[in-house]
Chains A and B, each alone.
Chain A
Amino acid sequence: MTAIDMISEYKPVALYYDDADSVEYVRVDGPSVSRRIDAFLTLILDMDDRSKVIGFRLKGFRNFYSKHFRLINEALNDEFLALVSVIEKRVTEIANNHFDRAEAAQRLEAYKCARDIAAKDSVILRGRIAA
């Protein structure tokens, strides 16, 4: 790639950033602010209206993926991964393992927000993640 297209319309797509080891999905190509929810999820907010969630980042993704999805994907030779299923897997972990119910409820609300975006936009991650 030698030049960046500055004129075409941005089409949201989930990207795995290898060096950051995270999957990122944003609806808008513009200024944003990251809000850490926990070790796995960060919500991405519109910089000028931080009540508006415009995307999410799933961190430590390779580790999580290899623990929960690698074998299934290899078996099915699946090259698509719906991020809804990843978020739901994490929600189950939190619900099963969390002892502080109030804190869990707050985190789950943020996960619901990310899940809703992933479901509404049918967000998929293309290609395999090297585990």
Chain B
Amino acid sequence: MSKIELRVIQGGNEKSEELLQFPQFVRGPAPENSSEMVNWRVSRGDLLKAAANLRRQKVLDFWAIVAGKNPPIRAFGMEQSGSLVSLADASACYQGLKRPCGDDDNGDERVIFILNPLEFFEYQFRPPIVHVNKRSVPEGLVFAAYARLDHPPEGGVRGVVTHWEFLEACPHEGTLPIDHGDRYCRLLWRRD
């Protein structure tokens, strides 16, 4: 009986260069005025550290929710989304983490943008296929993107987006995070 040779047809790129070609800036609202759009740098060093340690979900979340673009990757299951949000669509902005952060004793130099994405991209480990799924954000979640302010701001750049995460939503005001009244120092603005 002759042997049947099985070959895997790959679903996409095993190594992606495009996914690490982060934009130099993302557009987002100014902390003092929700209708003024400014540039924010991206914490490239931390993103590369995540990528080097195979935290692919963190990189996909950056593309789909902070930058508001379909992740630049060819993968099995990957469908383009036409309803992504970005930092520019933040529904609220707070200042102050109420905790030490780096050299900042009270996290006062940090601003927090709250976003309400409908869709995101999920990394799935299914070797040997590169699998990325577009999916809906479950109910009861919001997304927070944190930025450190530059002092003084230079050349229209206000600071650097440092990290991001999904949070549980407030049960009474679903576009804001749970305990929003306590977790940050102050609300800078809110879009209704």
A residues whose Cβ falls under 8 Å from a Cβ of B: 1-11, 13, 15, 17-22, 26, 29-36, 39-40, 47-48, 50, 59-60, 62-64
Q: Give which listed residue, B55, B57, B99, contacts A40 with CB less than 8 A.
A: B99
Report how many A-B pairs have Cβ atoms within 8 Å.
Answer: 133
Asked if B123 and A4 make an inter-chain contact with CB atoms under 8 angstroms apart, the answer reads no
In the complex, what distance in Å separates the CA atom of A59 from the CA atom of B101?
Answer: 7
Q: Are A59 and B43 in contact (CB under 8 A)?
A: no
Which residue of chain A is the closest to B167 with respect to CB atoms? A34
Query: By the criterion CB–CB under 8 Å, are B138 and A48 in contact?
Result: yes
Checking B130, B138, B162 against A19 with a beta-carbon cut-off of 8 angstroms, the contacting residue is: B162
Main secondary structure of the interface of B (DSSP, over half): mixed
Given contacts A9-B125, A29-B56, whether A4 and B162 have CB atoms under 8 Å apart is: no
B99 shortest CB reach to chain A, Å: 4
| Bound Cα distance A94, B77 (Å) | 47
- Would you call A6 and B14 a contact (CB within 8 A)? yes
User: Are A6 and B49 also in contact (CB < 8 A) when A20-B163, A30-B123, A59-B101 are?
Assistant: no
In the bound complex, CA of A111 to CA of B148 (Å): 28
- State the B residues within 8 Å of A (CB): 12-17, 19-20, 43, 45-46, 48-57, 59, 73, 75, 98-102, 105, 107, 120, 122-125, 127-128, 130, 138, 141, 146, 148, 160, 162-163, 165-168, 179, 183
How far does the alpha carbon of A11 sit from the alpha carbon of B13 in the complex, in Å? 20
Chain A residue with the shortest CB-CB distance to B131: A6
Other contacts beyond A4-B51, A21-B102, A30-B123: 8, CB < 8 A: A1-B51, A3-B16, A4-B59, A7-B14, A17-B163, A19-B160, A31-B57, A31-B120
Hey, which chain A residues are within 8 Å of B45, CB to CB? Answer: 18-19
Known interface pairs A15-B49, A18-B46. Does A47 touch B138 (Cβ–Cβ under 8 Å)?
yes
Across the interface, A59 reaches (CB within 8 A) one of B56, B99, B105, B123, namely B99
Q: Which 4 pairs show the lowest CB-CB distances between chains A and B?
A: A39-B99, A63-B100, A60-B100, A19-B162
A20 contacts which chain B residues (CB < 8 A)?
43, 46, 101, 146, 162-163
Given contacts A6-B73, A6-B75, contact A34 B130 (CB under 8 A): no
Name the B residues within 8 Å of A48 (CB-CB): 138
- For B46, the chain A residues whose CB sits under 8 A away are 17-20
How long is the Cα–Cα vector from A6 to B133 in the complex, in angstroms? 13
List the B side residues contacting A22 at CB < 8 Å: 163
Q: In the docked arrangement, what's the CA distance between A9 and B183, Å?
A: 35
Residues on A with C-beta less than 8 A from B102 are 19, 21, 62-63
The answer, among B54, B107, B179, for a CB contact under 8 Å with A5, is B54
